[in-house]
Each structure stands twice: as structure tokens, then as C-alpha cells.
Amino acid sequence: MLHIHYLEEFDLPELDPFKTLRRRKDMERLDQFVAEGEKVVRRLLDCRIPFQIDSLLLTPEWLLKLRPELDTRPEEMHAYLAEHQAIEEITGFTVYQDLKVAARFLETHTLEGIQEAAPRPWLFVACDGLANAENMGTVIRNTAAFGGHGLIVGETSTSPLLTRTIRASMGTIFDLPFVHEESLVNALKDLKWQGVKIVGAHAHDEKKNIAGTDFREDVCIVFGSEGHGLSPEVQAICDDLVLIPMAGKVDSLNVGSSVAVFLYEIARQRGSM
């Protein structure tokens, strides 16, 4: 059921989820996330993972557009209506589309569940020390675009459900199964024990490069931090450390670009591109 509130004051505690872009830990503690903008919100509404909407902050015009979908949902929802300037005042940021939805997943993925649901050969992407929210969103979007079966986020990486990450992923995080592991090293060890090839994307001096690597078997590609690459502990687990050859004096790519290059090559080898 949808409850509609016309905002006259902006310091209500019910609006706190929309003020937490600067308080990321608060959102994680509450298991909440905020989706914003039409494309992202519509991806959320189409999400196959059970979720509930807690509240919405939007203009009357956006409520009118979304009302048919919202009226079919079973949960109690509170829609807070305000005009553009008020929404910017509440959030403290420039707003391009006056539509924000605070929600939470009712179920979470497990790595075992992702494996059971995915076709073989498996293709997983893992993140080691990836701290930038926008980069994480690009990794998610590229993983979804090139047919990745799941995302494994290590304990030193940022959450896939930060608002900026969701926005950068264009909502594809709602289509891509993911797990946030307490120990990436242990998760990779488990995969390796099952016969999954662990490949580290790593700019090193050895000769093995992406074109000379066979990706047609079950594989997990691990991408490291923006500044330091893969941690020594993760490198030690990898079956191969593989680079993308580059011309001139360029020695690395943005991690999102690296994901796209790796996954395109994997899709090409597997005949899906």
C-alpha cells in the first residue's frame, strides 16, 4: 500500500535514507540502498531478487508516471512529494531527475547459489581492494554487458550498493548476482578447489597476455585496486597473472576498461560475441 505525504518540512527522520550519500556506513548498517533516476528505478522494479521499497522521494510528476507499478506492490511504502529545489535541499546534491527510492533486498545471494544457477562454463569477476564507487559501478555494468555470471566483492572493496555505484552501473547491479565476501582469499581458494581457473588481471613483466590465455573453461578474473593492483595474497592464489598489451608508454587502464577488454576476449573465445 502506498502512503503519500506532501512535504512541508525537510528535517524529518523518515528522510534520512536520502541524506546518507555522505554517510555510507549508515546505509550499510541499515541494509538499505537508494536507487535514483528513471532507468535505474525501473531496473529495480523489474528485479527478480525479492526486495521491498521503504520510501520514495520524488516530485508529483514522477509519482504519476510510476503509480501503476507502485500500486501493484504488496508492501507498505511511503512516498514523500516535493519540488525539485526541495529535493536538492534534502539530499545536498545536484539532482538531475527528481526520483529517489530507498529499498532493501529481502534475500541475498551466496556463491554456491550463483554457481548452481549459472550455466557452464562459469565466468566470475572478483574485486580486490576496489575502493572507488564509480569504478565499481563500471565494473558491474561491464560484467553484466559481457555475460558475467556473478560478481565477488572482497572485504577491502567498496559496497556494490552505494548510491553512486548503483548510478554508475545504470542499475545493472539489480540484474547481476553478487556476493560481498568476508575473505576474498578464502572464496578464491574454494573456487580453485572446485576446478575454477583463477586469473589475475595484472600488469607485470612476464610474457603471458590476454590473447595467449585460454578462457574457455570455468574461470574467475580478479581485478585489483586502482593504485596498487592485486594484493600479494591474491596474486599467490592465481593460476595465471595476465596482462593487456598496450602501445607506447601506457602501462595500465582504468579498471572498468580492463574488465571490458578481458570479458570481451572471453566472450569471443567462447563464441558468444
* Structural domains of the chain ordered from first start: 2-105 (3.30.1330.30), 111-270 (3.40.1280.10)
Residue ranges of E strands in the chain:
2-6, 33-36, 51-58, 77-81, 99-105, 123-127, 150-153, 178-180, 197-201, 219-223, 240-242
Give the pLDDT confidence score for residue 264 in this predicted structure. Answer: 96
Report percent pLDDT > 90 for the chain: 73
d(CA 65, CA 51): 21
- Of the candidates 133, 164, 138, which has an alpha carbon nearest to the alpha carbon of residue 20? 164
How confident is the model over 94-122, as pLDDT tens digits?
778 899 999 999 988 999 999 999 999 99
How confident is the model over 146-196, as pLDDT tens digits?
999 999 999 999 999 999 999 999 999 999 999 999 999 999 999 999 999
- Looking only at the bridges linking them, the beta strands covering 178-180 and 150-153 are parallel
